[in-house]
Amino acid sequence: MLNLGLLAFAQPWLLLALAGLPVLWLLLRLTPPAPRRMAFPAIRLLAGLKAPEETPARTPWWLLLLRLLIVTLIILALAQPLLNPAARLAGSGPVVLVIDDGWSAARFWPVRQTAAANLLAQAEREDRPVVVLTTAASEQDAPPEASGLLSAAEARRLLQGLKPKPWPADRSAALAAVQDLDLPGSAHVVWLSDGLASPESDALATALQRLGSLRVLRDEGEGLARLALAPATEGVDLIARALRADAAGAGEAAVLAIAGDGRIVTKAPLVFEPGEREARVLLDLPTEMRNRIALLTIEGETTAGATVLLDERWRRRPVGLVTAGSRQEAQPLLSESYYLESALQPFTELRKGNVEELLQRQLAVLALPDSVVLSEDERGRIAAWVNEGGLLLRFAGPLSATRGSADQRSDDLLPVRLRGGDRVLGGALTWDSPARFAPFAADSPFADLELPDDVVIRRQVLAEPSLDLGEKTWARLIDGTPLVTADRRGDGWLVLFHTTANTDWSNLPISGLFVEMLRRVMGVSQGVGAGGGGEALPPLETMDGFGSLGTPPATVLALETGEDAESGVGPRHPPGYYGNDSLRQAHNLSSFLSQLEPLGRLPSGTTASLYQESPEQDLKPWLLAAALLLALADLLISLVLRGLLRPARGAVMPSLCLGLLLAGLTLAPSAQAQQSDDVRALEATLMTRFAYVLTGDDAVDEISRAGLLGLTRVLERRTSVEAGLPLGLRLGRDDMAFFPLVYWPITQTQPTLSRAAVDQVNHFLTHGGTILFDLREASGGAQIFGGGSRGTQDLQRLTQGITMPPLEPVPTDHVLRKAFYLMEDFPGRFVGGTLWLEALGENVNDGVTSVLVGSNDWAGAWAVNELGRPLNAVVPGGPRQREMAYRFGINLVMYALTGNYKADQVHVPFILERLGQ
Amino acid sequence: MTKPLPLRHRAEQLAATLPPLLVAAERVAATVAQGVHGRRRVGQGETFWQYRHYDLGDQPQSIDWRQSAKSDMVFVRQMEWEAAQSVWLWRDTSGSMGWTSDRNHQSKRERADLLVLALSVLLMRGGEHVALLGSGLRPSASRANLTRIAALVQNGEPATDNLPPALPLPRSAQLVFVSDFLSPLEDIDRALRYYGEGGQRGALLQVLDPAEESLPYGGRVRFDGLEQEPSWLVSRVEAVRGDYGRRLQAQRDGLRDICRALGWTCDFHRSDQPPQTALLRLYTTLSQAVTC
């Protein structure tokens, strides 16, 4: 192969033929052109006449040049020029493909796959065997292992089924696998790396280089995967954090906070300062919205590392309010618990009940009004809980004032010792006026809170003076008496407000200051720790390599919690939610990764390059086509020169050439389309047919056609729907109105719709049509309108102007789940993508949604060839998945054709019977 | 452009611009055919000439009873003797005639067809009997004959022979030959002499394409004949143009000489000229024959 940078020739020796061009030039010049032939009646008069001098007529120079150009083009074409050539495979042995398929590879995974496919094509061209080695452990927790010598076709199949894993690559195991490799000849090694370093990456590179020449493909800078760290909580605020590998230069990203139902709660920019690896941003949210956040993800990155799941620990602090046993139930609007509830509700998760109930679940803060009387048993429980880190918030009141110091010895749940009795300020029998707050001390949690003028304290309980009273005091009155005291007890805190939580003793509870103070107290509390000790948490939902949640595979084990449990992220414990009904714990990849490093210097002799999206392109057909066109032109010109083709006017020739060219370039289909409209309309209406949108990408269109064909066959076999062959639909040109269901695969290449097409689609949707949008990407569609992945961006681009109804994920009791088969999820070629449909609301269109949006590439799963064999492998695979895909198709067709009658009670007896078992 | 009219219509259009052509009949008595030329004597005809007394031997059918009833005599009605000239037309249909240098021009064949048909229309309007030489039809002045001639002219197959055939004709026949007359002069002489010696009068019209006159080509050209002549390669046509012109002139001169010897007239016509000029000249030629 001759490589000229952008261009290379696969058969360079053929270029030698170019040397023959001058000879051809001479030959062409020496031979006079064939004479024009001319019929002439008066030939008898001409016969015998000879021109005096016989100088040979010359072929015109431009014709000569044209012919030389044709020959040159043909020679160049035969030399097989390649645009953007991949480097020639070095060595003579097999091609070794090392693919990083850890979490970080999920970003730009299609690019990696394209790169690998290109390499395989190259290996196929050179007839070299291929060894594939992935560096992450498999789902079955098998360490990375090199495949045997495969043919390129086998390797391609292997590659198609490959998915990035949600755990990090295990390069040390890969290193061991490489060291075990025994290859014939020197190999051409290509490492499709994720660009991130690990301790063994240098050793791996060295080991790979020992096999033969090593080429490393990697990402750089902004292209490297970023890691969403678990958010920090500051007080009650949530701070999203992200980590990047390459600290050079400034960087930008955005973090999306997504609710459990997939909607976007907020979006905040993450700015990486130059030289900084970490970026932080405060999620400024109304407290009501904050709790809805289920996960944070870096926008546009679909990796397991770019998504961090949140659980109770990041939610609002759960606060228990002890109410049972209170004696103020009679006047609920004046009770302490009512004031506390009102103040705490906005920013905490408030639970009410007795102590025993409350402590069964995790709590950050336990609020104890004065009116509650605790039993010894409860006291012990609380003490133990506080020792483990809880915060007990107590309020004084008439009860604590009358209890006296004798009782207080036994009451160890107070930060300071209290004097018996209370102090009344500004009463009828006192000289003092009601006291105000002194400014908060700088070390107090309440520091820098603004003091309103109108808050006055009329009664309080007093602390026994002691040496450490000053340290324990968080707030005091202007005369110096402590009003809020706190003390550490074990890992936890005891906090006491020396006044009541209702307005009996002060007007503090009805001021804004009260709420702010409680907020600060919440900020002091630790929050909820991670899990109960020693309990094994079974997986609830786990993430796949692209960072979307799904049903956990059977290989996932329960998560051991507890101090000594070693549970990293791996095949046995992929990131996701673990737990049970009462506890739901997020297991995040980022908890086990503290830093990211870009892949450093590679051993000398390796070639490193970036992933490039422009694949090599064979120019041979183009050159040959150009040569053919020129040859045609040459033919025409010679015909004209010889007088065999006599143009009547000068304009005929150019217009003929132009016509030929145009006919070749644009196969002007419009006239044809016009004529076939009626035929098509008949074709489309004589039988029920399903249609797919022609995207312009032949491969995709073919899959759509084959997919609907497969579905039609299955429908015919299993149901009474006997549909005709599916039809392709050119938006804006063909009438959509004939089709009950239109399948629309979203591609990058489909041009944005014209005005007419948008109107047509809108008309179709508002008049009872159903469109299934398919993003065709693994695990996409977790959120569809938030930027996100490429597919969703294309979806947004293509549906611009189309009035999309509000969408929601398929509700659990939706008709689509029971229209023919009972279904839980809707797999296609991929599993796990969310299927969105029109939020039920108005009962328009017989309750049938007009738009369905999913990402599982259903047509890919349905597609069959002429013999009825499936065309594509399903991922992760198995006949069951394909069967379920067909079932989804049948349900969808039933739903589209029959509407919601299945929502009636038809299945109820059967379902009840099932539930009973 | 409107669709060209059928050949016959075009010929009639062309003929309408000229007055009816009466061909001078030299030998009136010799022919038996009748025409509109009143002979100022009694004979067969359609116009009334005179009444005369019934004589023995007159056919009873010729008695004019109306006239006889006016007196005691029996009268016979006699008509003026009308006699017609017969004109025999021939045009060359060989392959060389079906050629044109420019597809906007008529080919020589088309022009010859048009002229022949226009001439027949004119002649028939004058009551002359017209026939196409070699067609086997009798000369006649009827409308039906014109239709037949038109059909024959229009559908005439290309003939291999490019000279008029030698056929026995009445001595009084007038001949009109239209061709390109590019055959060797001896052949033309032989063909015309057959008729000239038989006593018939005639007129020749040579129709040529403009390209045949000017030879407007250049460069290296291989010329192919249209009648199986061997082809001829000319390396530079422009160099032989003068010689060609001289040869063509010689051919025309020879043609003129042959006609003069026979007492015939000879005319030349180019297919890019309007056909009226040629038709007018033929008209004059045939009219002048009266004065001879």
Stretch 13-32 of chain A: residues touching chain B, C-beta under 8 Å: 32
> What pLDDT does residue A53 have?
59
One-letter amino acid of B185: L
CA distances from B96 to A43, A415, B166, B179, B280 (A): 10, 132, 21, 10, 25
> What pLDDT does residue A786 have?
54
Among candidates A39, A47, A50 on the partner chain, residue whose Cβ is nearest the Cβ of B99: A39
> What pLDDT does residue A698 have?
85
Distance separating alpha carbons of residues A413 and A706, to the nearest angstrom? 73
> What pLDDT does residue B21 have?
40
Whether residue B240 and residue A49 make contact (CB cut-off 8 A), yes or no, is yes
Q: What percent of chain A has pLDDT over 70?
A: 85
Count of CB atoms within 10 A of residue A431's CB? 7
Going by C-beta distance under 8 Å and a sequence separation of 6 or more, which residues neighbour residue A28?
Answer: A59, A64, A67, A68
Of residues A387 and A916, more confidence is placed in A387
Structure tokens, B255? 């043609």
> What pLDDT does residue A708 have?
92
Chain B residues whose beta carbon lies within 8 Å of the beta carbon of residue A647:
none
Question: Band of the pLDDT at A817, cuts 50, 70, 90?
Answer: confident
Question: Band of the pLDDT at A660, cuts 50, 70, 90?
Answer: low
Chain A residues whose beta carbon lies within 8 Å of the beta carbon of residue B251:
45
> What pLDDT does residue A328 have?
54
Contact of A642 with chain B, judged by CB distance below 8 Å, is answered with no
Angle, CA A179 vertex, CA A173 and CA A180 arms, to 5°: 95
Q: How far is A39 from chain B (nearest CA, A)?
A: 5
Among candidates A33, A38, A45 on the partner chain, residue whose Cβ is nearest the Cβ of B224: A38
Q: Is the pLDDT of residue A681 over 50?
A: yes
Query: Ranked by mean pLDDT, which of A176-185, A322-331, B23-32 comes out on top?
Result: A176-185
Q: What percent of chain A has pLDDT over 90?
A: 5
> What pLDDT does residue A530 have?
47
Residue in B closest to A37 by C-alpha:
B222
Q: What is the pLDDT averaged over residues A730-749?
A: 86
Contact of A53 with chain B, judged by CB distance below 8 Å, is answered with yes
Contact of A763 with chain B, judged by CB distance below 8 Å, is answered with no
Mean pLDDT of chain A: 80
Q: Which of A828, A670, A864, A869 is nearest to A745 (CA)?
A: A828
Residue B13, helix vs strand vs coil: helix
Q: Is the pLDDT of residue A72 over 80?
A: yes
Tell me the pLDDT tens digit for each residue of A569-609: 888 888 888 887 667 788 888 878 777 888 777 777 777 77
Contact of A649 with chain B, judged by CB distance below 8 Å, is answered with no
Question: Band of the pLDDT at A668, cuts 50, 70, 90?
Answer: very low
Enumerate the domain spans of chain B.
7-28+85-291, 37-83
> What pLDDT does residue B272 have?
86
Q: How far is A44 from chain B (nearest CA, A)?
A: 8
Query: Ranked by mean pLDDT, which of A607-621, A897-911, B93-107 comes out on top?
Result: B93-107
Residue in A closest to B247 by C-alpha:
A45
Of residues B4 and A105, more confidence is placed in A105
> What pLDDT does residue B32 have?
32
CA distances from A633 to A66, A308, A622, A640 (A): 9, 64, 17, 11
- Write out chain B's pLDDT in tens, 292 residues: 445 567 777 777 776 655 444 343 333 323 333 344 555 666 666 677 788 888 888 888 888 899 899 988 899 888 776 656 688 888 888 888 888 888 778 888 888 888 888 888 777 777 778 888 888 787 877 778 878 887 887 777 777 777 888 888 877 788 889 998 888 889 889 888 888 887 788 889 999 998 888 888 877 888 888 887 888 888 778 888 888 999 999 999 999 999 988 888 888 998 888 877 888 788 777 766 543 3
Q: Which of A828, A883, A821 is nearest to A852 (CA)?
A: A828
Stretch 190-249 of chain A: residues touching chain B, C-beta under 8 Å: none
Among candidates A43, A50, A55 on the partner chain, residue whose Cβ is nearest the Cβ of B229: A43
Chain A residues whose beta carbon lies within 8 Å of the beta carbon of residue B230:
47
> What pLDDT does residue A629 have?
93
Chain B residues whose beta carbon lies within 8 Å of the beta carbon of residue A51:
234-237, 239-240
State the angle between helix axes of B7-16 and B143-154 in degrees (0 to 180), rounded to the nearest 10: 120
> What pLDDT does residue B240 have?
86
Can you point out the beta strands (E) in A834-884?
Answer: 836-838, 851-854
Among candidates A39, A45, A51 on the partner chain, residue whose Cβ is nearest the Cβ of B224: A39
> What pLDDT does residue A77 have?
87
Q: How far is B228 from chain A (nearest CA, A)?
A: 10
Q: Is the pLDDT of residue A625 over 90?
A: yes
Of residues A531 and A863, more confidence is placed in A863
> What pLDDT does residue B24 have?
34
A165 contacts A102 by C-beta, under 8 angstroms: yes
Count of CB atoms within 10 A of residue A914's CB? 10
Distance separating alpha carbons of residues A437 and A457, to the nearest angstrom? 8
Tell me the pLDDT tens digit for each residue of A6-30: 777 777 788 888 888 888 888 877 7
> What pLDDT does residue A890 have?
92
Distance separating alpha carbons of residues A209 and A765, to the nearest angstrom? 58
Q: What is the pLDDT averaged over residues A332-350?
A: 83
Tell me the pLDDT tens digit for each residue of A519-542: 888 877 765 554 445 567 888 888
> What pLDDT does residue A664 have?
53
Q: What is the pLDDT averaged over residues A662-685?
A: 61
Instruction: Choose the weakest-confidence range: A135-139, A609-613, A619-623.
Output: A609-613
Q: What is the pLDDT averaged over residues A324-339?
A: 72
> What pLDDT does residue B28 have?
30
A697 contacts A747 by C-beta, under 8 angstroms: yes
**Which H or E element spans position A507?**
none
Query: Ranked by mean pLDDT, which of A310-319, A402-411, A694-703 comes out on top?
Result: A694-703
Q: Within 13 A of A28's CA, how many CA atoms are on the CB side?
A: 18
What is the pTM for the complete model shown?
Answer: 0.49
At the topology level, CATH places domain B7-28+85-291 in Rossmann fold (3.40.50)
Chain B residues whose beta carbon lies within 8 Å of the beta carbon of residue A32:
220
Q: Which domains does chain A have, with CATH numbers?
A: 1-34+56-85+616-649 (no CATH), 95-223+597-614 (3.40.50.410), 318-524 (3.40.50.880), 671-914 (3.40.50.12140)
Whether residue B212 and residue A41 make contact (CB cut-off 8 A), yes or no, is yes
Pairing label, strands A251-259, A264-272: antiparallel
Going by C-beta distance under 8 Å and a sequence separation of 6 or more, which residues neighbour residue A318?
Answer: A312, A348, A349, A351, A361, A362, A363, A364, A365, A528
CA distances from A16 to A21, A52, A75, A595 (A): 10, 45, 9, 56
